[in-house]
Amino acid sequence: MTQDIVILAAGKGSRMKSAFSKVLHKVGGIAMVRRVLTTASSLPESKLHLVVGHQGEQVEANCQDFSANIVWQNDPQGTGDALRRVAPFLQKNGATLTLYGDVPLISASTLQKMTALSNPNTLVLLTICLENPMGYGRIVRNEQGKVTAIVEQKDATESQLTINEVNTGILLAPNNHLQGWLASLTNKNAQGEFYLTDVIAMAARDGVDILTVNPENEAEVAGVNDRVQLAALERELQHQQAVSLMKNGATLLDPSRIDVRGELTTGNDVVIDVNCVFEGKVVLGAGVEIGPNCYLKNCTVGDNTIIKSNTLIEDSKVGENCDIGPFARLRPGTQLANKAKIGNFVETKKAIIGEGSKVNHLSYIGDTEMGANVNVGAGTITCNYDGVNKHRTQVADNVFIGSNTSLVAPVQVADGATIAAGSTITKQVGENQLAFARARQTNKDNWPRPVKK
């Protein structure tokens, strides 16, 4: 069946004590509502509706790439009220799946189990049994075990409060019945709100089959009301991701000390030490080793490369069998060919480093194209910025650059050239030439050292 998917994201979230919408707070580096939208988008034949209210402009702007139908709920009066506002946009046939922007870990597989049961005379509920059901609506069943109603905590009788099967809020209802049920909702309850859960009793009354599905784990249906719950879901997600990485062939020296805030793909025999953070999309080839306290964002790393401790890599491409760090920083636009080496306290930016080239320590290489088998001595910098514009440095193959060299761009160094230590290079160096550019040294006899005043 075709599906309307409604994501409720209009709540104020006052317990977050935040200047921006609750559903925009991140779990695993991604806004909660975007996680829900991404999962919903994976279901076939679906039309997305996003219900916004408090700080709705923020939510709409953050989610515009999903092409969801935006429905406003400026004066929220419950979940039923939200669905009533979406009702004019629902397809005549098919079914409507209701999700929540602050329940970010719901899985596509669970939703697929629900949609597999969908038909014009079936309502599907996602329920779960909890040891402590406090605060949740209870699932009421008759003697035959069929669901007859959902009773909210504040409206439940003493006997109903003993029920531990609870409503998660996620349901799939056939549109041919849902429109009438929504029109019949009232707010005659302890909260004075229109409960979407009231449609369950209506479905039972109308002879509609009510089926239940259970999630794989409790975290799937856990919502976020404050930052404590947000942190708990963050840890749960990181645990899930760590388990997945290890099952995929990666070794995590401490699975509780890794943070994946995006998408991390690993080849076989990857080893990741403690306190590493991965953001955006990161791909690690087979045999990659990453030392402690590293940060990688939107980058690819080739097979058997070693990244030593306290290294930062962002928006870069690293080849195979490279050696990087410790304390190195690869800024956006860096490309390392196979067997390149970037040593301690080296920074690169928009730099193409050729195969087997080495920038071992204490250097800055920016806006540079460097060939193969180049050796860059300590303290070398490319002077790429004139105060207004950036300029490129071009270094050919087999060049030797002595320590403490300044390459003032734009400048070219040809194949096989050698630059003497301490030189400031401002013009082209030809093939196999030796370039040295130093001030003449002067020595003074009997020079008095300064004394402290």
Crossing angle of helices 32-41 and 108-115, rounded to 10°: 50
Instruction: Please say whether the beta carbons of 26 and 1 come within 8 A.
Output: no
* pLDDT score for 145: 92
Which residues line the annotated binding site for Mg(2+)? 102, 225
**263 in the Ramachandran plot: left (φ > 0), alpha (ψ -120 to 50) or beta?**
beta
pLDDT in tens, 188-210: 888 889 999 899 999 999 999 99
- Binding site residue list: 8-11, 22, 73, 78-79, 100-102, 137, 152, 167, 225, 331, 349, 364, 375, 378, 384-385, 403, 421, 438
Sign of the CA dihedral running 275, 276, 280, 284: negative
Residue 107's nearest CA partner among 29, 221, 27 is 221
> Cα separation of 255 and 315, whole Å?
25
Query: What residues pair up with 138 in beta bridges, in sequence order?
Result: 151, 166
- 361 included as an active-site residue: yes
Task: Give the pair of three-digit tokens for residue 384.
Answer: 């790429």
Q: Above pLDDT 90, what percent of the chain?
A: 89
| Mean predicted confidence (pLDDT) in 97-120 | 96
| CA 120 – CA 203 distance, rounded (Å) | 12
Instruction: Kindly indicate the confidence band of residue 135, based on its pLDDT and cuts at 50, 70 and 90.
Output: confident
pLDDT digits 0-9 by tens, 259-317: 999 999 999 999 999 999 999 999 999 999 999 999 999 999 999 999 999 999 999 99
Residue 302, judged by CB atoms within 10 A of its CB (0-12, 13-18, 19+), counts as buried
Residue type, 184: S
Task: Classify residue 209 as exposed, middle or buried by CB count within 10 Å of its CB (0-12, 13-18, 19+).
Answer: middle
Mean pLDDT score across all residues of the chain: 95
- In a 13 Å sphere around the CA of 406, the CA atoms on its Cβ side amount to 8
Q: What's the confidence (pLDDT) of residue 452?
A: 86
Query: Over 80: is that where the pLDDT of 132 sits?
Result: yes
| Helical segments of 142-300, H only | 175-184, 198-205, 227-247
Active-site residue among 25, 49, 361, 391? 361
Cβ atoms of 240 and 257 closer than 8 Å: no
Contacts of residue 68, Cβ cutoff 8 Å, sequence gap at least 6: 7, 37, 48, 49, 50
pLDDT at residue 2 greater than cutoff 80: no
Q: Are strands 347-353 and 364-370 parallel, antiparallel or unpaired?
A: parallel
Phi-psi region of 245 (alpha: psi -120 to 50; beta: other; left: phi over 0): alpha
Taking 90 as the threshold, does the pLDDT of residue 380 lie above it?
yes
Q: Report the alpha-carbon distance of residue 66 to residue 362 in Å, rounded.
A: 45
Residue ranges of the binding site for acetyl-CoA:
378, 384-385, 403, 421, 438
Question: Considering the entire predicted model, what is its pTM?
Answer: 0.90
Domains of the chain: 3-221 (3.90.550.10), 227-435 (2.160.10.10)
Is the distance from CB of 84 to CB of 184 less than 8 angstroms? no
Amino acid (1-letter code) at residue 57: E
Q: What per-residue string of b and e applies to 280-296 under the rule 16 or more CB within 10 Å gives b?
A: eebbbbebbbbbbbbbb
Closest CA to 1 of 91, 99, 109: 91
The predicted pLDDT at position 226 comes to: 96
Residue whose pair of structure tokens reads 């955006």 in the numeric block = 280
Q: What is the pLDDT of residue 1?
A: 66
pLDDT (average), residues 212-241? 96
CB 380 within 8 A of CB 363: yes
